[in-house]
Structure 1
């Protein structure tokens, strides 16, 4: 079992300076019944203001609803207006863009998703996550053709893409070289069900942690949260935590060895504990 958080020899992070790359910590969505009535939202808190509350306690949220259906531009605009300055959303691309036998034929679906109004998030638009089925194997030609369909900017705004690949065949240098050539991050998922891919492939890092436990009030044991804080700060400061199950030995390529933004989400696991875990990690990061 690979465990990002348990790294006794993780590099000690340096202090962050104003304007430096940031660590953003959050959860998946904000609508979940067990989070109500004092578990995360205060007792009696109105449902219409749950996003406003969640965004006041966290620094990012990963949106899952966009995976199942396109949202209206007015919805994206409301999400922007209901959250504080500096907050960010990661968006899962619609499933019709990635759940297909021939990825190279996804052009129409990709264009439809990107035209759905997500630019209404303005400066709160974070990475777009392209999630692939666990059965989808790495095919260099087809996958490369798909990545060429993903634009580097939209309406004059730069886009960041995170590739959530879930098959063991992606744990190869050929995939890493392809992702790096396109400047796209690889999602590092901390879970038992998916292969780990902690190798850096872009100028930002993206991690989904699926190991929270219901018996822990903060989702994880204190020493696990301490280790997570050291690890994500190490990433931010342009280095790498030691002990990761990387595909390639040695440091990342020179062009990636610099301070970077980090997006870290507590997803699945004991979902009722994820807001507490995110807040505990943010507290340790100061």
Structure 2
């Protein structure tokens, strides 16, 4: 299974460019879900959401739609993964689990200043929920400090079944092209300029080839985060077209 989408959907620059002019804001998710089968929720990174928000989002999307959930920055950036139990409980109790079968992987993005600490990571991985209502829960980790080039890092992810995010960051942060779990998680932040530049046909061809190869043995989730100039939905459509069944 391959799912292609965007990171977030509420962006003013998309209005009148990707979204039709005059489209009510509350219909933007439904519009996006008519073209893609998944989206990465960014709002959960910045603040706890309410259960009614998750229920509303679920009602606006098709039955086979999937939401990837970005983990709380309070856990990753403020507490820096230390003593996560209470914060993680509050995060999960905010309503995210009400998505049921529409709940996809959790994305945990670490700050650029957080160094590789195997004990810290192992403790964090140990408290992550792995199932809910009989369905498995998946987790992906995006790192940004060069210390994660440590040869112990990827085996640690494999040991705990955590996906290493394959992130294209326009050479701004560390980029690890490795798959460490039973699924692959790809984040495309910009080809030449972080969050801004679009992807060329040649770049999209390369990413399509990688994703096609990974999908032979595992599920793949890929999200475009180059949202500043409405490039993300354009590039996501172009990548999805390359990966569509013949």
TM-score (norm 2): 0.91
Matched, 1:281 2:239: yes
Matched, 1:167 2:145: yes
Shift of 1:155: 3.9
- Counterpart of 1:211 in structure 2 is 190
Q: Which runs of 5+ in 1 are unaligned?
A: 1-21, 238-258
Distance in 1 between residues matched to 2:237 and 2:94, nearest whole Å: 31
Shift of 1:207: 0.9
The verdict on how the C-alpha distance between 1:207 and 1:271 changes in structure 2, with shifts beyond 3 A counting, is farther
Distance in 2 between residues matched to 1:42 and 1:133, nearest whole Å: 35
Asked which structure has the greater RCO (Cα within 8 Å, sep 6+), the reply is: 1
Q: Which runs of 5+ in 2 are unaligned?
A: none
- Counterpart of 2:85 in structure 1 is 107
- Counterpart of 1:33 in structure 2 is 12
Shift of 1:100: 4.2
CA RMSD of aligned residues (A): 1.8
Shift of 1:127: 0.5
Render the CA deviation track for 1:132-180: whole Å, top value 9, x for unaligned. 1100001111221111111211343311001111111112221112111
- Counterpart of 1:78 in structure 2 is 56
SS at match of 2:152: helix
Aligned residues: 240
- Counterpart of 1:267 in structure 2 is 225
> 4+ runs of 1 displaced by more than 4 Å?
none
**Match 2:210 to one of 231, 234, 246:** 231
Distance in 1 between residues matched to 2:95 and 2:80, nearest whole Å: 26
TM-score (norm 1): 0.79
